[in-house]
Amino acid sequence: MAIRNIREIGEEVLTKKCREVTEMTPRIRELIEDMLETMYEANGVGLAASQVGVLKRIVVIDTTGEDPYILINPRIVESSGEQTGQEGCLSVPGKSGQVTRPNYVKAVALDMNMREFELEGTELLARAICHELDHLDGHLYVEKAEGPLQDVNCREEEEED
Ligand code: NI
């Protein structure tokens, strides 16, 4: 496993639409393991493949820090309600912005064995699913942010951990 370089806002790869994964290969397995390691190392709750420069429809999400979800070719099939809150992104370091998202989403995706499964989430998990799936279509939360972005004091956050 290896930590990969996280691409930042302004880099073209973050604006591209990612392609579907058609089969599991050792290379994709390695990519997913690297994405998990990269996300944890950066203290993120989610990461899309495009954020490490790979245009494949793969995201990893872990909102609890102990139970990662791996979603291949994910799509949202149901959503309801509304939540408004602060959102950040590893590709937009040091910033956060207010974004309104559904409070509940149901996604369908493939797992590491290319078997379909459903993932339901509310609150932070619902927000993370929406945020990461946007990455797969080349969108960043900053496009949806209400009002100006705010500065986040990263050092303070690290000290709390
Ligand atoms: Ni992001």
Residues facing 108 on adjacent strands: 75, 118
Cβ proximity of 48 and 58 under 8 Å: yes
The pLDDT tens digits for 51-77 are: 999 999 999 999 998 889 999 999 999
Sign of CA dihedral 133, 136, 137, 138: positive
- pLDDT of amino acid 125: 97
Parallel/antiparallel/unpaired status of strands 58-61 and 116-122: unpaired
Give the global pTM: 0.93
Distance 21 CA to ligand 1 centre (A): 20
CA distance 36 to 41: 8
Please give the positions annotated as active site.
132
CA distance 134 to 129: 9
- pLDDT tops 70 at residue 114: yes
The pLDDT tens digits for 34-47 are: 999 999 999 999 99
The residues placing their C-beta within 5 Å of ligand 1, an ion, are 89
Q: Which of 44-53, 106-115, 148-157 is the least confident region?
A: 148-157
Integer-rounded Cα radius of gyration of the chain: 15
